[in-house]
C-alpha cells in the first residue's frame, strides 16, 4: 500500500483501477514497435485482408448485376444500353451527379430526374432506378415499340414498361404510341367490353358497315 500511495494518482478513474490491479503483480513493460509485432498485422494490412464490408460489397455488386440483366427488355442486348448512354449528354451528367452524391444541376434536361435522384445508382455505364433501367433518349421509342408488340392497349403497354425500364414522360409517350396504332384504334370493342357485354346480355353490333 505504501508503494500505491507513492505513485501519482491519474485523473482517469479507469487508469486508476488498472494501477490498483497491477500493484498485486510483479511485471515488466516492454515496448515492441508495431512493425515487429505480429499482433498488429490486421490494422496494418486492411487492404489485403477480407472483411465483412468487402463481402457485403461483393454481394451488393452481384445483386446489382443480376437486376441489370433481368431488367433488359427482350430482343435487346445488355451492350446496347451502355453504348447509347455514353452518347447521351443528359445521362452522362446524371451519372456524375450520382457519383458525387448530391444534386447540383437544375437544368431543364435533368430536372425530371430530381424527384427520383435518391433512388438512382450506376452500374457499368447503366443507371438503375431500383429494379428499372433508365433508358437513354435514343432508345426510348424503341423500348416502347417493343412493349407495344402484339398491339397491346395503353394499360398493358404501361405495365410492361414499368416492370423493366424508366425514363421521364414514359406514360405520355406510351399513350401517344398506342393512340397512333391503327390496329388498336380501329377495334370498336375491347376484350373487356366484350366480356361485359356477354355478362349483361348486350347486343354487340358493328357500326362500321
pLDDT tens for each residue of 82-129 = 888 899 999 999 999 998 888 888 888 899 999 899 899 888 888 988
- Domains and their CATH numbers in the chain: 2-44 (no CATH), 72-185 (1.10.340.70)
The stretch 156-171 carries a mean pLDDT of 89
Which residue has 448530391 as its cell numbers?
102
Asked if residue 186 lies in contact with residue 179, where contact means CB atoms within 8 angstroms, the answer is no
- pLDDT at residue 46 tops 80: no
The better pLDDT of the pair 208, 160 is held by 160
Asked if residue 126 lies in contact with residue 81, where contact means CB atoms within 8 angstroms, the answer is yes
d(CA 154, CA 132): 19
Task: Quote the pLDDT of residue 97.
Answer: 92
Task: Quote the pLDDT of residue 134.
Answer: 92
Task: Quote the pLDDT of residue 14.
Answer: 74
Question: Would you place residue 25 in the very low, low, confident or very high pLDDT band (cuts 50, 70, 90)?
Answer: confident
Task: Quote the pLDDT of residue 1.
Answer: 47
Close Cβ partners of 143 (under 8 Å, ≥ 6 residues apart): 73, 76, 135, 161, 165
The stretch 18-43 carries a mean pLDDT of 70
The better pLDDT of the pair 90, 74 is held by 90
Amino acid at each position: 500500500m505504501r508503494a500505491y500511495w507513492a505513485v501519482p494518482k491519474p485523473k482517469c478513474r479507469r487508469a486508476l483501477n488498472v494501477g490498483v490491479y497491477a500493484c498485486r503483480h510483479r511485471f515488466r513493460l516492454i515496448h515492441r514497435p508495431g512493425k515487429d509485432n505480429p499482433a498488429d498485422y490486421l490494422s496494418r494490412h486492411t487492404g489485403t485482408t477480407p472483411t465483412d464490408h468487402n463481402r457485403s460489397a461483393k454481394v451488393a455488386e452481384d445483386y446489382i448485376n443480376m437486376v441489370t440483366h433481368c431488367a433488359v427488355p427482350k430482343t435487346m442486348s445488355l451492350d446496347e444500353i451502355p453504348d447509347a448512354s455514353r452518347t447521351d449528354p443528359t445521362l452522362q451528367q446524371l451519372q456524375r451527379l450520382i457519383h458525387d452524391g448530391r444534386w447540383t444541376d437544375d437544368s431543364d434536361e435533368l430536372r425530371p430526374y430530381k424527384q427520383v435522384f435518391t433512388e438512382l445508382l450506376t452500374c457499368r455505364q447503366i443507371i438503375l432506378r431500383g429494379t428499372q433501367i433508365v433508358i437513354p433518349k435514343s432508345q426510348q421509342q424503341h423500348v416502347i415499340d417493343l412493349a407495344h408488340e402484339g398491339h397491346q392497349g395503353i394499360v398493358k403497354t404501361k405495365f410492361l414498361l414499368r416492370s423493366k425500364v424508366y425514363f421521364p414522360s414514359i406514360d405520355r409517350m406510351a399513350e401517344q404510341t398506342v393512340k397512333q396504332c391503327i390496329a388498336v384504334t380501329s377495334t370498336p370493342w375491347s376484350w373487356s367490353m366484350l366480356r361485359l357485354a356477354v355478362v349483361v346480355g348486350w347486343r354487340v353490333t358493328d357500326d362500321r358497315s
